[in-house]
Amino acid sequence: MLKLKIIIGSTRPGRIGPTVATWAAEAAKAHGGFEVETVDLAEIDLPLLDEPNHPARKEYTKDHTKRWSAIVADADAFVFVTPEYDYFPPASLINAIQCLSQEWKYKPAGMVSYGGISGGLRSAQELRQLLGNLSMVALPGVVPVPFFSKFIEDGKFTPNKEMADGASGMFGELAKWANALKPMRG
């Protein structure tokens, strides 16, 4: 079975990323095409680019980077759950992506973005460009969550029909791409 890692991109205190990611993980499990694991960057706790060697060499010297490398290398596909901070993904997510290089190659990525009126779409667009630079396939469709607080009650995120349908479509596309790209990962 394909391994899907749902990555919570924000590490800010008071964030709602874990709440949205819980819904995404439940939706992925309901899809049925994946073994699903949620990865919280706040728990990974990566410092800012502290490895002495370029990540393309995979010569990691720090235990936290080795652990992060193993988590990413183990995946067949990703969903990044990201807010929009100043029209951009959070620095914690950009740092986590840039800590590695080879582990991302030939893997598809979907996005669930959240924010205000734009639903985090500007953040997702910037993230898609970065992922493409790493030889990933960033799906063109994003599951946006505009005015996210309207969908959270008692600590639980409840999507509207469009979000649920979008997530279902995203998981279908991720499964297709993950299977198609698997031979390229050798």
Give the residue carrying structure tokens 């694991």: 37
Pairing mode of beta strands 152-153, 143-146: unpaired
pLDDT band at residue 100, thresholds of 50, 70 and 90? Answer: very high
Q: How far apart are CA 178 and CA 171, in angstroms?
A: 10
For residue 60, give the nearest of 105, 104, 101 by alpha carbon. Answer: 101
Backbone φ and ψ for 177, nearest 5 degrees, come out as: -65, -40
What is residue 175's predicted lDDT score, i.e. its pLDDT? 98
Average pLDDT over residues 149-172: 97
Q: What percentage of the chain has pLDDT greater than the value 90?
A: 98
Non-local (6+) Cβ contacts of 15 within 8 A are 8, 42, 83
Per-residue pLDDT tens for 21-79? Answer: 999 999 999 999 999 999 999 999 999 999 999 999 999 999 999 999 999 999 999 99
User: Which two structure tokens, joined as six digits, stand for 128?
Assistant: 């898609």
CA 173 to chain centre: 15
Spans of all domains in the chain: 2-185
Tell me which CATH code domain 2-185 carries.
Answer: 3.40.50.360
Report the mean per-residue pLDDT for the chain. Answer: 97
What is residue 186's predicted lDDT score, i.e. its pLDDT? 75
Per-residue pLDDT tens for 111-132? Answer: 999 999 999 999 999 999 999 9
Q: How far apart are CA 49 and CA 20, in angstroms?
A: 27
What is residue 114's predicted lDDT score, i.e. its pLDDT? 98
DSSP string across 38-88? EEEHHHH---SS--SS-GGG----SHHHHHHHHHHHT-SEEEEEEE-BTTB
Q: Does pTM top 0.95 for this prediction?
A: yes
Rounded alpha-carbon distances, angstroms, from residue 86 to 89, 108, 134? 8, 26, 23
Q: How far apart are CA 45 and CA 38, in angstroms?
A: 15
What is residue 169's predicted lDDT score, i.e. its pLDDT? 97
Q: Is residue 184 scored above 90 in pLDDT? A: yes
Per-residue pLDDT tens for 141-151? Answer: 999 999 999 99
